[in-house]
Structure 1
Amino acid sequence: MACLSFSACDSLPASFESPQHRGGRFHNAEPGQPPGWATSLAILWRLAFDKPADTVPPEAVPVQALSAAQLERAPDGTLYRLGHSTLLMKLAGRYWLTDPVFSRRASPLQWAGPERFHAPPIDIEQLPPIEAVVLSHDHYDHLDHAAILQLAPKVRRFITPLGVGDRLVAWGVEPGRVTQLDWWGSVEVAGVRLVATPAQHFSGRGLQDRNRTLWASWVFLSPDLRLFFSGDTGYHAGFRTIGERYGPFDLTLLETGAYDRQWPDVHMQPHETLRAHQDLQGRWLLPVHNGTFDLALHAWDEPLERIVTLAEAQGIGVLTPMMGEAVSMHRPQPTTAWWRALRRAPAPAAGGAAGRG
């Protein structure tokens, strides 16, 4: 039987030795402001039945198809965005993959839930051997059960926050290939140092397992590149600490999408993404967590448009590659605003976008 929820298929240790773990659950460093039941129900109603027309693209999102031969020819220090927060990086002569989601829907069910705007630029079968899959947390748009099982034979290591690795083991991944880290923990893998750093978010895959596993951002320290991958997070003071300890970063891979004023603690508005990039002492910014799934109430292309406009106003280099487009992390070249070429959806009826973040 497919694992549709944590309670049905997974088992986790009863406790973790972590400053973040209290009362059987993990906690953010900065207390959040939960919306409450009434607001939560109203949000769910709008997401299900009252979404603006422009939360999905009006036509197919362009994708540059990738092949195994192209990856083999690519120089070290090349990055490919495969969709949402799934990034394939060639570092220190090996391949690294973040938050791999290849399924049609970010959901426990493949007949319901957020559906992809585009196919992945490359199939899992065509991917080369992967040195490590690095996971930020266990939400369905970041941890794809089917993809993990299909990837497992070609992945040497899985690097996760506390508890997420236990989910993989419950799914059949060998325990010896899984490394779980608390915030500020680190591991050396094939010449690359990976550091789990704080994020402000939450976790869970079912109705009863909220915050039973940890969430994290990640620092990648290779011999010639410093990278930061945010996973999912609201803006928090820890960005400055990360920048002081491990910056400046050559490239920050920061979430910019699925935000709203009604859930400010768990996703960043574009101006907060830019502030986080500055806290991290980043050189180039590549916004992720957009362009693949319909997860909020804003227009599907709003995150990209807003972050580009804000970055240009402050003279900050921002990269917005097409899905599958090669990006040099050593010497980034300007990218195009590819989303502007797509026809805009009709404007929603009066009041349809009220409350948009």
Structure 2
Amino acid sequence: MTSTLNATESSIKVDGKFQNQEISYDTKLSQLWDMTKMYAKAKRKEPAPTKEVPLLSVSREQLDSIDTDSVFRLGHSTMLMKVDGKYIMADPVMSERASPVQWAGPRRFHPNPIDVDALPVIDVVIISHDHYDHLDRPALKKLDSKVTQYIVPLGVGQRMINWGVDADKVTELDWWQEHQVDGINFAATPTQHFSGRGLFDKDSTLWAGWVIQGQNSNLYFSGDSGYFGGFKTVGEKYGPFDITMIETGAYNDMWKEIHMLPEESVQAHIDLKGKAMIPIHNGTFDLALHDWYEPFERAQSAAIQHDVQLLTPKFGEQVEIHSPGIYSAWWREVSETEDLKLTAASAQ
């Protein structure tokens, strides 16, 4: 397990726990009780899609034929990128449920656009943090034989090594550290979140966003984060970005410190000096109290207000980084909510 030292503002640990830069986030028992009551009283129109979510299957042949830098959204925050001819995956979550077990917990709204067996050799897998909807142990076990290298935040690599991943394939980075693979620069950047997979390991591993700098493309992947001043710092240090992939889902006012509201996600994109934004962390699992389609609607409204180019590809749809297309508001065609059905009909 290696680490490349190039830090300017590295992370801080207090009593063995990693800390955020701007806040100290800790869930109290009173907050948990408030959340429980809120979940019990919640009235939603569509917690999950009632129709089939549109999806484009991705084939190995299709991927190998691509000669332009491109990204594919496979689900939730799982992204497949082809940059400089190299395959990069971010937060590969491909199991049926985002959960410690596969017989309970949030279930997928849609299949994977490509099976693990059909994937090419993945040159680099990046992980943002160790939560179950970002670090999928069963998927990693299936994927591992195809992965050349993992680049992950501090502590996450040791988890993976404990699961059987070869330590020589793992590079752990602190915030602001960089690591190059075949001319592509990967930089771990601060986010405002937390970590942990059980009752007693909170904040024992680090969380991060990722900069991916190729010869012709510059990308940003947010992982999970509340809105904070760090996005401007990343934008000043590494921007502008051709595409930002920004968390836009599983939010609520009660936990906005660690999950941005959609309007904040669009502002983060602006802070990062992004040219086009893909809203991620939505459309695959029910992880909060908003309707499944709400993140798209709110992000789109904010993007129009701020003149931001918002990209909303269907799962499995190719996005060419330097010439992205115009993508439909596909969620309106899927939704049974009356106002969205009317909006979809008027757009045709």
Partner of residue 189, structure 2:
197
Among candidates 1, 17, 21, match of residue 25 of structure 1: 17
Match of 2:143 among 132, 143, 151: 151
Q: Paired residue for 1:259? A: 251
**C-alpha distance in 1, partners of 2:51/2:173?**
41
Q: 1:19 to 1:84 in 2, by over 3 A?
A: closer
Contact 2:248 2:261 in 1 (8 A): yes
Which residue number in structure 2 is paired with residue 248 of structure 1? 240
Alpha-carbon separation, structure 2, partners of 1:21 and 1:66? 42
For the pair 1:323 / 2:306, whether they are aligned, the reply is no
**Residue matched to 2:299:** 307
**Residues 1:65 and 1:49: Cα distance change in structure 2 (over 3 Å):** farther
Q: What CA RMSD, in Å, does the superposition of the two structures yield over aligned residues?
A: 1.7
1:31-110 to structure 2, matched below 5 A, reads 31-32=23-24, 34-47=26-39, 50=42, 52-110=44-102
SS at match of 1:262: helix
In structure 2, the CA distance between the partners of 1:206 and 1:48, relative to structure 1 (3 Å rule), is farther
Task: Quickly say closer, same or farther: Cα 1:301–1:343, change in 2 above 3 A.
Answer: closer
The answer on whether the counterparts of 1:35 and 1:263 sit within 8 Å (CA) in structure 2 is no
Letter in 1 for 2:318: A
Question: How much has 1:330 moved relative to structure 2?
Answer: 1.3
Distance in 1 (CA, whole Å) between partners of 2:116 and 2:41 is 34
Could you tell me how far apart the structure 1 residues matched to 2:281 and 2:11 are?
28
Shift of the alpha carbon at 1:60?
Answer: 1.7
Deviations 1:268-304 (A, max 9, x none): 0111111111111110011100000000001100000
- 1:42 aligned counterpart, secondary structure: helix
Conserved in 2, the CA contact under 8 Å of 1:255 and 1:273?
Answer: yes
Cα distance, 1:346 vs structure 2: 8.1
Aligned to 2:215: 223
- The correspondence for 2:263, drawn from 261, 271, 275, is 271
Contact 1:229/1:252, CA 8 A, preserved across alignment: yes
Cα distance in 2 for partners of 1:120, 1:308 equals: 25
Contact kept in structure 1, 2:124 and 2:147, CA below 8 Å: yes
Q: Which runs of 4+ in 1 moved over 6 A?
A: none
The 2-side partners of 1:249 and 1:33 are apart by 29
User: Secondary structure in 2 aligned to 1:176?
Assistant: helix
2:226 aligned residue (211, 228, 234): 234
Query: Residue 280 of structure 2 corresponds to which residue in structure 1?
Result: 288
Q: Measure how far apart 1:45 and its partner are.
A: 5.0
State the AA in 1 paired with 2:33.
L
Question: Is the contact between residue 56 and residue 294 of structure 1 (CA under 8 Å) also seen in structure 2?
Answer: yes
1:338 matched to which residue of 2?
330
Query: CA deviation digits over 1:56-84, x for unaligned, max 9?
Result: 11212111111111111122311110000
Matched, 1:134 2:110: no
User: How far apart, CA to CA, are the structure 2 residues paired with 1:85 and 1:230?
Assistant: 9
Deviation at 1:35, TM superposition (A): 4.8
Encode CA deviations 1:146-177: one digit per residue, 9 max, x unaligned: 01111110100010000000010000000010
Conservation of the 8 A alpha-carbon contact between 2:42 and 2:289:
no
* Distance in 2 separating the partners of 1:267 and 1:184: 21
CA distance in 2, matches of 1:245, 1:266: 23
Alpha-carbon distance in 1 for matches of 2:318, 2:34? 41
Alpha-carbon contact 1:58-1:345 (below 8 Å) kept? no
**Per the alignment, in what secondary structure is the counterpart of residue 72 of structure 2?**
strand
Q: Percent identity over the alignment?
A: 48
Secondary structure (helix, strand or coil) at the match of 1:330 reads coil
Contact 1:106 1:144 (8 Å CA) reproduced: yes
CA distance in 2, matches of 1:31, 1:104: 34
1:85-125 deviation line (CA, Å, top 9, x unaligned) = 00000011110000000000000111111000000100000
| TM-score, L = length of structure 2 | 0.92
The 8 Å contact of residues 77 and 90 in structure 1, kept in 2 or not, is answered as yes
